[in-house]
Structure 1
């Protein structure tokens, strides 16, 4: 195993959380394939530079807090990145139900305020709110309940 490549890969992982797939692709860019790549990945895991569970928790928490993504979108992205169901569940556990509902409420309140300036038709207003929240990855039943509550105020 090439120590220089291992050191480079460790730096790559230390910069931000990565998945094994991301590291494997980076190793391929550096000309490392097959068993040697597997060895380096195994070494990075044993040295605690690489943890897909830690990645899932960081990713899910960050996308929820910073980008206001819903659970569906976060799960889809974690799955797309090749994480196991176990790791995805661990990541999703980072999102508190109460904070989740509050975030959707705040997100839709802001959007409602912005839309009311231009949209007068109540049906179109509701459609735009629903489309916005679904696009962010929130569950439709929660979206509808939240919108009904907001519009009843």
Structure 2
């Protein structure tokens, strides 16, 4: 028979402090982690409040870090970033603050560089299929449709 590891409130708090110190976390991730540790709802609330009071958990900081990382590394657009943050139950205010940190000039510059690279890499003869592949690629990554369609017609003709 498998026995579940149980944690005292202090052990769980320490474990979650390390969990949050290692990498920025959102409230949802912390709650899920505590649920997998088989903590009761009252203990979860106590630990989350402790983490908030001691600045281990900060939704605004998480949103900004998430946006910066996904934009710089995965090259996601604003639509995808917004969607992913909403999935993590981040408030609209924090989402908007995080997205505001992306410089508009850099955003367009990254999109232009990426789109030119992608247009060259698509090995399709049919112009319509090539445009479809191009637009699907960028729409999936959350770039605004008006930018994508405009660029598709500009680069692929």
Length-normalised TM-score, structure 1: 0.91
Does residue 1:52 correspond to 2:55, yes or no?
no
The match for 1:84 is 91
> Which of 132, 136, 141 is residue 141 of structure 2 equivalent to?
136
> Which of 17, 36, 39 is residue 32 of structure 1 equivalent to?
39
User: How many residues get paired?
Assistant: 150
The match for 1:121 is 126
Question: C-alpha distance in 2, partners of 1:33/1:89?
Answer: 33
Question: C-alpha distance in 2, partners of 1:150/1:76?
Answer: 28
Does residue 1:10 correspond to 2:17, yes or no?
yes
Question: C-alpha distance in 2, partners of 1:24/1:58?
Answer: 19
CA-to-partner distance for each residue in 1:14-61, whole Å, 9 max, x for gaps?
A: 111111111111111222122221111111011110001111001111
Stretches of structure 2 lacking an aligned partner (at least 5 in a row): 1-7
1:151 positional shift? 4.3
1:121 positional shift? 2.2
Q: CA RMSD in A?
A: 1.5
Question: C-alpha distance in 2, partners of 1:21/1:111?
Answer: 35
Question: C-alpha distance in 2, partners of 1:40/1:24?
Answer: 9
> Which of 90, 100, 112 is residue 93 of structure 1 equivalent to?
100
Stretches of structure 1 lacking an aligned partner (at least 5 in a row): none
